[in-house]
Structure 1
Amino acid sequence: MRFSLLFAFVIVVGIYSYNFSEASEPVCSKFAYEEQLLEKMIRTEIKVETMVNEINKTEENVISTLGDIKQTVADLTGNITYEMLQKSDEIKRREESFKKLFEETRTNLTSDMGAKSEELTQLQGSFKNLFDETRTNLTSDMEAKRDELTQLQEKLERPPIAFHAHYLTDLVLDTTDEIIIFTKIMINEGTGYDTSTGIFTAPIGGLYQFIVHTCTYATKFSYIGLVLEDKVIAADSNYDKIYNTCSTVGAIVRVRSGEKVWVKATASNSNYKLLEDAYRKNTFSGVLVNN
């Protein structure tokens, strides 16, 4: 189709050129005219053939070039498709590797977290036991310290316990177990000693020291004892044929709160008699040493 159109175009151009040449040339014989026309037609045909050949060559070149382009495109498409397939396979392999690595990592992390959780639970249990033990010990220590502080506070708040009594209105020891009553008080801290009965009643329990000092006429006897709740805890006897004599007896003893202590005659006779004057005093004293 393209060749037919091109050939028609060439004929039209030739006729136009011929008419133009015929108009411009001078009028000659019919033979010369036909010769010239034939010559021009031959030249035109040669030109047309040359143009056709060039067009054919151009068409072949174009077709060849198109074929090369198609082949190149096909090659490029094949290469791109192959590379895309390779990339796709590589992506799939990497994706599988990543999934596998992810699963392994998750499994390891889960296992490690389980182990760490168990270890943490054990540590929490150990810490709780240690904390409970420490709290118990601290509580016990605090209770002990509080009790100790309470006792110390009570000791500080308690008045000192001490008494010192003297002066006897009855000096004759003529009755066994007779309580010797010291009727005058020099000191009676805690008001434990009773001058009417001669008995000391411990206001609080603790460790006490008691001392009894008695004097006896010459040629007379005296037998006395220091008594805690009807039990003699210290005793003394005194006698001299020529001189008036004095003696001292005492004891350190633990006394519970409310228990009683006194001095009594452990033996009796109308000849047993104590002495008291400006130079000699009979005394009974006691003091709380430690509670």
Structure 2
Amino acid sequence: MQYCRKMERFETFFCVILLFCPFKSVLTLSVEPVCSKFAYEEQLLEKMVRMEFFVENMQKDVQKSITNVMDGMNGIKEKNVEITDNLSEKIEKVDLKVENVTNTMNGLKDKNTEVADNLSELHGKIQEVELKVENVTDTIKGIKEKNHEITDNLSVLHEKIENVDLKVENALDTMKGIKEKNSEVVDNLSELHGKMKKLELKVENIVDKIDRNSNDIEEIKASKTPAVAFNARVAVKYSGSSTVVFSIVILNEDKAYNDKTGIFTAPIDGVYQFNAHLCFARGIEVEYYLKVGDRSIASGEYIVPQGATDTKCTSFSAVALVRKGEKVRVGGMSFKNLDQEIDDWNSFSGVLIQTV
């Protein structure tokens, strides 16, 4: 019984060792019920052999693990040496760059200090220049005002000089004329004195003729053709296609032209001549006419090219027998077709040639 209890305690101890040791081999111990001393020693010997075998395998595994760990440690050591060398080299380069950057920053700092000093000095000079410019501006302003005053005075003086020159020129012309006239008078006095007597006789004859012809003159006045004529220009916007209205009247003898309607109304029967001058806008094709009542006495067509660079104008006229009360007008186009400039007039005129 004593051997059996020792054997059980040994087995329990051995099992605890196997439980906490991470070995690959697993040792299984069987519990034997035999409790004799011989059986116990035999089993103990067998267990010891197994234990020795197990320990030997465990040593091999431990040795192999140690070898692997040492190889890994050597590789890590070599890698660390390589990394340390690289880091040292890089640290040296970084130190060099840091030193260069530090030197550059110090140089920039010195340069900035110098620039700040120069800017301060330049700012002071700019203020001085601004003050001088302000003074110069005030001086120029005063000079400009003085120049305006001088210019006005010069204009007045120039105008006065021109008036004096004109008066002097007129006076010289007058003096020259007087001198020439005096010379002519002096030269002709003797001749005039001799002609005075002849003129007296001629005056008497003329008076007689005037008396004899006074009746003839009255008859001529009674039979004289009356003055009927007009001339108007500048077409107005409310002109229609049937009648162009010319609003500015230059001549209107006998008041026969109406500047509100653009129509001439014949005051008496007679032979009249009518004229028209029209200027057209670019890129159009228009028709135009002169009409007495409803009958045309002149008509035509005019084409202005689209690419024309200046105003195009045309003139037309006609002679017609017009009875008293008949109306004469220019038409054929609307106001939007007309173009009028300072030097390009639209106009309408007419004159009585002979009464009938």
Q: TM-score, normalising length from structure 2?
A: 0.35
More helix by share: 2
TM-score (norm. length: structure 1): 0.43
Larger radius of gyration: 1
